[in-house]
């Protein structure tokens, strides 16, 4: 099995897309909301603008979370940063901008947050996105601090990230964990498995956890399911419900 940090250095609770349901996703406002709710780790998505700048957004298109239109990869960074990425969520967030990865890293450091950064490339930009994002993270992250955990559904993006910044830890992201997950883990020198909790059966949960591999589950919004997964030994839960950790501890 691949080597990994011992003990596992990341918190169990991770605010999905920065701030879960408390703020517009993949924004600096979301990260501040996550931190204000007591989270010490956030997750967010990164893809490239047309001019090769990594920016925070989940979809390949702009319509759902901004007032723009079309594909993210068809717009330069300067144009993307003029868009309103908050008004769709609520009037209190009107004028919130789409951050660059560099801005997100600065925000993480100011809030003293750990991060899972999902590399989410547009089709055809897998290796480029992985390489550029990893290089930027490696160059800007302070020495001695717990590094961000990179993950991706794209093997090509993860491989390019590994080549660009081999010291950054990487997690394999699946909707459903395949039977040969250990083969993929070794091939990518990954440190963790990330998967959809809804597709995770008891047998696979036990298999991964018994192997000593950190298992991170998305998106866990029900208290009962969260308690079940934590009791089984999962290493991390991505959630939209920022009140859930306190509710389970009450």
- Catalytic residue list: 16, 58
Strand partners, 193: 172, 215
> Could you tell me how far CA 28 lies from the centroid of its own chain?
14
Identify the H or E element spanning 36: helix 28-36
Tally of CA atoms within 13 A in the half-sphere of 37 that contains its CB = 28
Q: For residues 201-217, b (16+ Cβ closer than 10 Å) or e, as one string? A: eeebbebbbeeebbbbb
Nearest to 19 by CA among 54, 56, 48: 56
Instruction: Judge contact between 30 and 18, C-beta under 8 A.
Output: yes
Cα(206)–Cα(219) distance, integer angstroms: 19
Cα(30)–Cα(42) distance, integer angstroms: 9
Cα(246)–Cα(80) distance, integer angstroms: 36
Tally of CA atoms within 13 A in the half-sphere of 80 that contains its CB = 28
Name the DSSP class of 198: G
Strand partners, 100: 55
């Amino acid at each position: 099995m691949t080597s990994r940090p011992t003990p596992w250095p990341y918190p169990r609770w991770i605010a999905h897309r920065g701030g879960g349901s408390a703020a517009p996703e993949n924004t600096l406002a979301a990260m501040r909301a996550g931190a204000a709710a007591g989270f010490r780790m956030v997750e967010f998505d990164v893809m490239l603008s047309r001019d090769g700048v990594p920016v925070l957004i989940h979809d390949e298109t702009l319509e759902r979370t901004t007032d723009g239109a079309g594909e993210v990869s068809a717009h330069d960074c300067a144009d993307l940063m003029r868009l309103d990425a908050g008004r769709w969520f609520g009037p209190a967030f009107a004028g919130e901008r789409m951050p660059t990865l560099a801005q997100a890293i600065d925000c993480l450091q100011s809030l003293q947050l750990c991060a899972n950064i999902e590399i989410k490339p547009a089709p055809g930009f897998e290796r480029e996105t992985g390489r550029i994002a990893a290089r930027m993270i490696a160059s800007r992250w302070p020495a001695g601090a717990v590094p961000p955990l990179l993950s991706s559904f794209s093997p090509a993006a993860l491989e390019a990230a590994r080549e660009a910044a081999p010291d950054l830890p990487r997690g394999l992201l699946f909707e459903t964990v395949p039977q040969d997950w250990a083969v993929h883990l070794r091939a990518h020198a990954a440190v963790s498995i990330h998967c959809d909790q809804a597709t995770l059966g008891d047998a696979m949960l036990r298999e991964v956890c018994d192997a000593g591999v950190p298992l991170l589950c998305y998106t866990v919004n029900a208290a009962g399911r969260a308690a079940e997964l934590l009791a089984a030994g999962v290493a991390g839960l991505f959630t939209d419900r920022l009140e859930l950790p306190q509710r389970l501890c009450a």
